[in-house]
Amino acid sequence: MRRMEHPSELFEVGQEVNAEEIGRWREGQLHLSARACEIPALRSFLLAFERGQVVAGTVSGVHNFGVFVHVDGEPDGLCTGFIRVPDLTWGWINHPSEAVEAGRRITAEVIVAETRTGQVTLSLKALREDPLIRFADQVGRVLTGPITKIVPFGVFVRLASDVVGFLHLSDLTDEPVETPDQLVDEGELIPVEVAEVDLRRHRVRLGPAGGANRTW
């Protein structure tokens, strides 16, 4: 698990090593990981997890790419839990610090535990109901909400506390424009029609209020 320039820093020909089989090459040769067996206590800890298992832990670090968690019972001196940004919350956030903070106690669901990486990937939102399930009956309704983000091809509109929908640029206006910010501003309230609630992809597609394009 430490950095090295060449395998000879770790091994020599004839040395006996412990390694985990992680696959086979096309020619039939085993694909092994010595790293997976480097810390026996860590390997035993990770092998005890099952997908969907609920665990508890303490947030140790919050970064723009995700959150590190000290999972209860992990070997001393290690940090084994990690939560990717999309697995933090069903709602829209600009940074993980909007969902959790260092030192907070959390309960999360196991996605996968990997001995090769020495890490267990967790999900906070898996233990919470998808807000779109209750929002699915809003299809066809006209709602008004603030624009939370403007991108080159459209805008995101907040429809409820944990529900954000997308309105394509072509539904903003019939006039030729290069970007939505020529028409609207972030934070501006606009009326939209809920065109589709896709539970499988977890997204809400919006259309212009009244079913026709308009210039704001």
Task: Give the pLDDT confidence of 69-121 residue by residue, as tens digits.
Answer: 999 999 999 999 999 999 999 888 889 999 999 999 999 999 999 999 999 99
Interval 9-23 mean pLDDT: 90
State the chain's mean pLDDT as an integer: 91
One domain, residues 146 and 198: yes
Residue 216: pLDDT band (50, 70, 90) is very low
In the predicted structure, residue 210 carries a pLDDT above the cut 80 = no
In the predicted structure, residue 164 carries a pLDDT above the cut 80 = yes
One domain, residues 56 and 106: yes
Residue 66: pLDDT band (50, 70, 90) is very high
Q: Is 193 helix (H, G, I), strand (E, B) or coil?
A: strand
One domain, residues 44 and 110: yes
**Percent of the chain whose pLDDT exceeds 90:** 68
One domain, residues 86 and 118: yes
Q: Which amino acid is at 215?
A: T
Residue-wise pLDDT tens digits, 174-194: 888 888 888 899 999 999 999
Query: What's the CATH code of the domain at 194?
Result: 2.40.50.140
| Overall domain count for the chain | 2
**Tokens 């308009």 belong to residue:** 214
Q: State residue 212's pLDDT score.
A: 52
pTM, rounded to two decimals: 0.76
Interval 54-83 mean pLDDT: 97
Residue-wise pLDDT tens digits, 192-208: 999 999 998 889 999 99
Q: Residue 56 falls within a domain, yes or no?
A: yes
The secondary element (H helix, E strand) that includes residue 203 is strand 203-208
- Do residues 69 and 88 touch, judged by C-beta distance below 8 A? no
Q: State residue 160's pLDDT score.
A: 87
One domain, residues 114 and 140: no
* Parent domain of 83: 36-127
Task: Give the list of residues 6+ apart from residue 16 with CB closer than 8 angstroms, or none.
Answer: none
One domain, residues 123 and 137: no
**Of the residues 127, 158, 190, which one is the last residue of a structural domain?**
127
**Tokens 């299809």 belong to residue:** 139
**Of the residues 81, 108, 127, which one is the last residue of a structural domain?**
127
Q: State residue 74's pLDDT score.
A: 97
In the predicted structure, residue 14 carries a pLDDT above the cut 90 = yes
Read off the DSSP letter of residue 91.
S
One domain, residues 110 and 174: no
Measure Cα distances from 125 to 47, 83, 106, 160, 194 in Å. Answer: 23, 10, 11, 17, 24
In the predicted structure, residue 211 carries a pLDDT above the cut 80 = no
Q: Give the bridge partners for 163, in sequence order.
A: 160
One domain, residues 86 and 154: no
